Structure 1
């Protein structure tokens, strides 16, 4: 959410500036007595920016009216497609898409109209998709121009496949193992939550890319920076195969570290903001593959959202459970993922996201019934633009609008008859634990990449915890028992690692700076 601050986008240099923002009084859209009396259930649409919906104020008015008709309480609006923004005041440059010219600000317009209707707005950001056009973006500051194919070394942010490919068709991606990529994404998300009164951020493509040689292997992560950091971490001198388990675990850790850093960065700006991630549910669920670690999300795109729920570094998994109800095998997939998602909740929220665009009205109503019967915290349809497969097949906006209206009528007369309120994040609104974010710096001023840091409780009921720094020397820990902790580098070979102390308080992020002499 927006914070009163003098900080400008140009000053976005890292998380060090964020703690002061947490001192400002939180801005809220307001909760009415009516909301408090309603049962809790997330209900909303993904609103993609590749189709009409937010291109001008008139479209936004129609969007909000359609959401009200559904009884929706949340809109997940795509503002970051390819390192651009459907907004005017973020680190990401303003999009080149055919939207109304400035001063029109799509995100600000959606927030104003949706909040007036009592509907939450969550900024949907594609995390690792860099660009997908033969024509480069106009802004010289866009990451594709500044850190794409003309850049070298650590300034080249491109992900690379094992065969040397960096672009598939016109699609290029950033490498989450590059520390500069990570810090840019974290700062870009922070710029949105600081400058706009959003209710949360929804991360998509928070994973490694598709376009792989098989369904249970990922071929990406072979950039110069990635391989160098992996070698430094493991001591290996070979180029690992895509199937190498150690390399696969390391790549998953890079994505998890990015999620952790975004979560704590958002928490420092405004702890009431929700971080949701679009969880992949490719093919069948864990029941068909012997457990979570056999599934395609885990193996094929390196997205370990189950561990993110377990650790508490996401507030909500919005599952992209895109299955055709009218095909028996895919209906089984849908059911298997329903069971797994509810089982993996781990005290956070899980929201089911059926593919409206792949189903007819009756099938989508059935999947909505199954969603609520399974015990989810809510439902979010993909997508607002194409609410049925007939809408997807049609180029007529009138047909698309009519199909959406038909689905809305069917859902409201059945499973969505009652109005509902967005579920409360009790781990934030009534927090009993706190968090830590810190950095490790060496005596010569360089950051300490991939070193172990121990948080040892010296007072209070906390448990000893060992965390790992990222490529910027940053580390974070969540859901810690309040109390005083001793913080120290415990990496083998490290010298001059004096202890630092930090006090953890419920509902806050405690910042700490740790120094070490050398790493040996």
Structure 2
């Protein structure tokens, strides 16, 4: 036996004497692969539908289901602040959210509770459940009990929908509780805002014509010192309404994180028209001006763990294909600068199957952390146009996405946010005179330098989710909290500040 063979034999014997070699298991790459499951038709309303949904998602190598549990003031669940849905397709006593959570989690698939934020009802027949918010706070309500969004011409209905006004403090509190009640009662992996903005039916590019709820309008006057009724394009009025939406996102995120810091807070956000070249151009973009949705601030301030752009463009239309890429490029830069995950949500219902595959590839090439398709119920334009059925199309789309050579051929994983990465503070002001809302709140580091600012909401609440290292202090109208060292993994409450 040669010396080299003897050495090899000795090495093998030595390894054998040490026991089995533990070869590290390759980790699947991190990439969000999402599928929206809407409540406007079959999908997750019965145990059998949910069995098929989870099997399809598993075969497609999808790892996140954005499951619509809140449609219009109701819940596809049995335990939430909203009443259980009266959808006749849901069997009596059945809890769709509980069932999809159990079955999806067993397959390693996350479930994010998608709730329409502002839409509350869409039928001329009122809800039968007396607990439904529309019955107490809809068109027949008066005074502060009236929560609906109002157009500048007095209209209270956007298309077929009545909507809650985020500038009304009680409506905003109700919206926040919709999300937190689901997080308290179900092991959801995330919550998703949808239609978290002032509604449509405006000129392209703005101004937005909504927000004239009497209580909201009186708040604006009290906080700004004005006495008039502003025109829709009034810059101060637009900025005030935009801030109300931002306040709502911030306060809901803080409330969710206070319950369970590892729950993902994300939003389905608007990308109307062309994408902005930079953040200066963002200030003239259609989401910012037309529907008063400042999701760039939500990303920069850490209110979101994931931003899921509704980048609904047709890949086979040249202008729209360009816009899709522009929004991806804009979001990718934001992702690099903030560390907040950016996901491109595609309208698979507007595209043929190959176009949807192309958009997955483009989102990945742009450097985004994921892709999501809207929706499971309408997986391509033929289904949307009633030319074919979902059952005919889903196997074909699955093969194109996760079959040989497809972008999802290999599985990918997606992790919930680490609780250890959370450091946040929240607080509230009381006032002797004047409004609770619109108070400028500044955050200061241990050296006393201002590092961030926000405004109180209509209930006097404020908070910060992206803090400097070390101790911080909050100041409002000449009053200051004690200097505190926020704890990692939680939202640290601050003492209430009493303002003169």
State the TM-score, normalized to the length of structure 2: 0.90
Structure 1 residue aligned with 2:468: 481
Show the 5 A alignment for 1:478-517.
478-490=465-477, 497=479, 499-517=481-499
Moved more, 190-199 or 144-153: 144-153
Distance of 1:163 and 1:509 partners within structure 2: 42
Shift of 1:379: 1.0
Determine if the alignment matches structure 1 residue 374 to structure 2 residue 374.
no
State the TM-score, normalized to the length of structure 1: 0.87
> CA separation of 1:223/1:64 partners in 2, compared to 1, >3 Å: closer, same or farther?
same
Structure 1 residue aligned with 2:316: 326
Give CA-to-partner distance per residue, 1:210-266, whole Å, 9 cap, x none.
Answer: 011443321001111121111112111221111111111111100000000011111
Show the 5 A alignment for 1:218-233.
218-233=208-223
Asked if 1 retains the 8 angstrom alpha-carbon contact of 2:203 and 2:290, the reply is no
* Equivalent residue in structure 2 for 1:357, among 332, 338, 349: 349
Shift of 1:170: 3.0
Asked if 2 retains the 8 angstrom alpha-carbon contact of 1:488 and 1:500, the reply is no
> CA separation of 1:342/1:209 partners in 2, compared to 1, >3 Å: closer, same or farther?
same
Structure 1 residue aligned with 2:49: 59
Give CA-to-partner distance per residue, 1:279-311, whole Å, 9 cap, x none.
Answer: 111111113997111211111111111111111
Determine if the alignment matches structure 1 residue 452 to structure 2 residue 426.
no
Asked if 1 retains the 8 angstrom alpha-carbon contact of 2:165 and 2:213, the reply is yes
* Equivalent residue in structure 2 for 1:441, among 411, 430, 447: 430
Moved more, 468-477 or 415-424: 415-424
The SS at the match of 1:212 is coil
* Equivalent residue in structure 2 for 1:416, among 403, 408, 415: 408
> CA separation of 1:171/1:324 partners in 2, compared to 1, >3 Å: closer, same or farther?
same
> CA separation of 1:147/1:419 partners in 2, compared to 1, >3 Å: closer, same or farther?
same
The SS at the match of 2:111 is strand
Structure 2 residue aligned with 1:291: 281
Asked if 1 retains the 8 angstrom alpha-carbon contact of 2:346 and 2:359, the reply is yes
Moved more, 313-322 or 499-508: 499-508
Distance of 1:210 and 1:36 partners within structure 2: 47
Shift of 1:145: 0.6
The SS at the match of 2:94 is coil
Pairs aligned (count): 474
Distance of 1:118 and 1:55 partners within structure 2: 21
Structure 1 residue aligned with 2:386: 394
Structure 2 residue aligned with 1:3: none
Distance of 2:144 and 2:482 partners within structure 1: 31
Asked if 1 retains the 8 angstrom alpha-carbon contact of 2:204 and 2:286, the reply is no
* Equivalent residue in structure 1 for 2:97, among 107, 112, 119: 107
Distance of 1:353 and 1:485 partners within structure 2: 37
The SS at the match of 1:350 is strand
Asked if 1 retains the 8 angstrom alpha-carbon contact of 2:481 and 2:495, the reply is no
Asked if 2 retains the 8 angstrom alpha-carbon contact of 1:371 and 1:379, the reply is yes
Distance of 2:87 and 2:24 partners within structure 1: 39
Asked if 2 retains the 8 angstrom alpha-carbon contact of 1:289 and 1:295, the reply is no
Structure 2 residue aligned with 1:117: 107
Asked if 2 retains the 8 angstrom alpha-carbon contact of 1:123 and 1:198, the reply is yes
> CA separation of 1:447/1:192 partners in 2, compared to 1, >3 Å: closer, same or farther?
farther
The SS at the match of 1:46 is strand
Structure 1 residue aligned with 2:294: 304
Shift of 1:513: 2.5
Distance of 1:35 and 1:45 partners within structure 2: 28
Shift of 1:452: 2.7
Shift of 1:176: 0.3
Determine if the alignment matches structure 1 residue 204 to structure 2 residue 194.
yes
> CA separation of 1:455/1:332 partners in 2, compared to 1, >3 Å: closer, same or farther?
closer
* Equivalent residue in structure 1 for 2:83, among 84, 93, 97: 93
Structure 2 residue aligned with 1:472: 459
> CA separation of 1:47/1:498 partners in 2, compared to 1, >3 Å: closer, same or farther?
closer
Distance of 2:127 and 2:25 partners within structure 1: 43
Shift of 1:486: 3.6
Distance of 2:24 and 2:326 partners within structure 1: 36
Asked if 2 retains the 8 angstrom alpha-carbon contact of 1:319 and 1:352, the reply is yes
Distance of 1:55 and 1:464 partners within structure 2: 47
Shift of 1:35: 9.6
Shift of 1:101: 3.1
Distance of 1:515 and 1:55 partners within structure 2: 47
Asked if 2 retains the 8 angstrom alpha-carbon contact of 1:193 and 1:266, the reply is yes
Structure 1 residue aligned with 2:122: 132
Structure 1 residue aligned with 2:139: 149
Q: Structure 1: 5+ residue runs without aligned partners?
A: 1-32, 492-496
Q: Structure 2: 5+ residue runs without aligned partners?
A: 1-22
* Equivalent residue in structure 2 for 1:49, among 11, 14, 39: 39
Give CA-to-partner distance per residue, 1:14-35, whole Å, 9 cap, x none.
Answer: xxxxxxxxxxxxxxxxxxx999
The SS at the match of 1:467 is strand
